[in-house]
Amino acid sequence: MLNKVTKGVAAFAMLLISACASTPPTNFYVLEALSQAPAALSDTEKKRLIGIGPITLPTLLERKQIVTRAENNSVQIAEFHQWAEPVKDNVAQVLMQNLSRLQSPDIFRTYPWSAYGTVNYRVIIDIVRFDTRPGKSANLEATWAIMDEKNHTIITNGQSRIEQTLTGDSYLAAAQALSQVLSEFSRELAQALQSNNAVH
């Protein structure tokens, strides 16, 4: 009887080892900011403190697994392809870095910025879509508003809808394409900050 139990335990242990050996490794990805250096500042340019956030994302995307869209209104959640940090935090950091490069001499802070004191303006962002369709496109849809932090009034607002062609179907290609749509979104926000004369 004892021999049968021992053999059963050994077989179960081998099954566990086999299962662990066949489990694929988890791959981690990050969104990347623009690589260009900030523009040189002149002594006469006035610095504004601009806060990025709060940023909202669909609940579906607030997970570590990368979410992609499939056919027939379905989605795929990749268990072994994950974001290296909470995607909302990564998005906020990338937007801050991009705007810092595009919108000198302004100083940008991510929400919450209480540790740095107050800001002059904030950019509120509601992202309603931020995903890819493998082999087809990467997509970002968002509404945004620039608010005067002193009197809590909206200076300007807008909607952005950006689509980036995605020829590959790998998760690395997806992360790179999503970084590109964030770069384009950053340029739209930078243009809004530059063109609105009320923000000074």
Tens digit of pLDDT for each residue in 19-36? 455 788 999 999 999 987
Domain assignment present for 16 = no
Would you say residue 40 lies in a domain? no
Q: What is the pTM of this model?
A: 0.83
CATH number at residue 131: 3.40.50.10610
Domain count, the chain: 1
What percentage of the chain reaches a pLDDT higher than 70? 81
Which residue type occupies 121?
Y
Asked whether the beta carbons of 117 and 51 are under 8 A apart, the reply is: no
CA distance 115 to 190: 24
Per the domain annotation, does 103 fall within a domain? yes
3 falls within a domain: no
pLDDT digits (tens, 9 = 90+) for 70-89: 888 899 999 999 999 999 99
Dist CA 106 CA 45 (whole Å):
9
In a domain, 85, yes or no: yes
